[in-house]
Amino acid sequence: MPQQTVPDKVLELRRVSKDFATQRAVADVSLEIPRGAFFSLLGPSGCGKTTILRMVAGFETPTAGEVWLNGQRIDALPPYQRNVNTVFQSYALFPHLTVRGNVEFGLRHKKRTDDINRVLEVLKQVRLEGKASRKPSELSGGERQRVALARAIVLEPDVLLLDEPLSALDPQLRKQVRVELRDLQRRVGVTFLFVTHDQEEALSMSDQIAVMNGGALEQVGTPREIYAQPRSRFVADFLGAMNWIGGIGVRPEAVSICQSPTKTGRKAVVTGVTYLGSFCHIAMTLAEGGEAIAAQVPPGSAYQTGQTVCVTWNREDEVRCEAS
């Protein structure tokens, strides 16, 4: 997405907290979601990302803080009065209604029956025009997911909330759907608030990512910023493998190995070689300091356990985080 100088925010969370009986699920989170963005909330399970989504949808009320949608405060409104829609993790399609009935449901209940002719158009957008009279039980997982999308998109929400919508799909399909979902978001132009625990998903699809941990926001930024300049060890580790050497982080793909010693290189002993098809994962121990270090090298490289090698990396690939 082309970055505007002052992005127009469609959704804003102001110091939102949510306490459940035994724990604080969300702790003092402030967020601004730019209009038209694909915005991901990324974090491990239990980090509060789904609770944030549910507070925006209206299924949970914040214990403290405010939720603003299009300049209107919405945190006290019931779900049916908010112009946001949700794609549920389980899709929550109505089993007694057809595909068309599911997609029409919102239009009927929001008294927008004039728009019913748009149902077919939206079904076409998600390639389901031939399945309008099927019941959800007659559809594949991918098709159900697209019905859930169509049902929400047809209402033209200010923000579309997606709660791990790919987690129920099999891994092969998931990668394909990522691209489709991203394309759909661009075409329709609706703001997506996408919850996921899969860093690859978040990196590949998002304009912006907010990384969460233990109910709090760790970092907000573009995928590149988050991956290359993580502000905390948590973010660095959650976004991908990271070597920590004397408080400095280096991603395995930035580490190069050579057989003979170099001036800048450090000696290391190979402790394990794992062939992974497109690359080889080499586990090593630094001779000096004894810290573990891993590298990704081309699959053809021949290293053996016990071999002494030399590792180097560029200074600009080093990551320095605040102590945490």
Partner 1 sequence: MLMTVTMLAPLAIIVVYSLLTRGAYGGVELPWTIENFMRLWDPVYGIIFLRSFWIAAVATALCLVLGFPLAMFIAGSGPRKNLYLSLVILPFWTSFLIRTYAWMFLLRDTGILNSALQALHIIREPLPLLYNDGAVILGLVYGFLPFMVLPLYATLERLEPSLLEAAADLGARPWRALVSVTLPLCAPGIRAGAILVFVPCLGTYLTSDLLGGSKTVLIGNLVQNQFTASRDWPFGAALSLALMAIAMVLLFTARNRGEEIL
Would you say the C-alpha torsion 172, 176, 181, 182 has a positive or negative sign? positive
Q: Give the number of other CB atoms < 10 A from CB of residue 136.
A: 20
Q: Which is nearer to partner 1, 59 or 320 (CB)?
A: 59
Query: Is residue 272 involved in binding partner 1 (CB under 8 A)?
Result: no
Residue 65-84 contact track with partner 1, rule CB under 8 A, x = bound? -------------xxx---x
CA distance between the termini of the chain: 32
Stretch that binds partner 1, among 51-59, 166-174, 218-226, 264-272 (CB under 8 A): 51-59
Round to whole Å and give the CA distance between 119 and 125.
10
Residue 106-125 contact track with partner 1, rule CB under 8 A, x = bound? x--xx---------------
Q: Which is nearer to partner 1, 107 or 236 (CB)?
A: 107
Q: Which is nearer to partner 1, 123 or 268 (CB)?
A: 123
Segment 222-261, which members bind partner 1 (CB under 8 A)?
A: none
CA 64 to chain centre: 25
Round to whole Å and give the CA distance between 42 and 314.
28
For residue 230, give every residue at least 6 positions away whose Cβ sits within 8 Å of its Cβ, in sequence order, or none: 219, 236, 239, 249, 319, 321
Query: Is residue 136 involved in binding partner 1 (CB under 8 A)?
Result: no
Q: Which is nearer to partner 1, 155 or 205 (CB)?
A: 155
Query: Is residue 4 involved in binding partner 1 (CB under 8 A)?
Result: no
Nearest distance, CB of residue 224 and partner 1, angstroms: 33
* Residue selected from 42, 155, 270, 297 as contacting partner 1 according to rule CB under 8 A: 155
* Residue selected from 65, 68, 77, 88 as contacting partner 1 according to rule CB under 8 A: 88
Q: Say which residue the tokens 């594949």 belong to.
A: 140
Q: Which is nearer to partner 1, 78 or 272 (CB)?
A: 78
DSSP 80: G
Segment 201-220, which members bind partner 1 (CB under 8 A)?
A: none
For residue 249, what is the enclosing H or E element? Answer: strand 248-250
What's the one-letter identity of residue 100? Answer: R
Instruction: Give the residues across from 292 on adjacent strands.
Output: 285
Query: Is residue 144 involved in binding partner 1 (CB under 8 A)?
Result: no
Query: Is residue 137 involved in binding partner 1 (CB under 8 A)?
Result: no
Conformational region of residue 6, where left means phi above 0, alpha means psi within -120 to 50, and beta covers everything else: beta
Q: Please give the residue ranges that form the binding site for partner 1 (CB under 8 A).
A: 57-59, 78-80, 84-86, 88, 90, 92-96, 105-106, 109-110, 151-152, 155
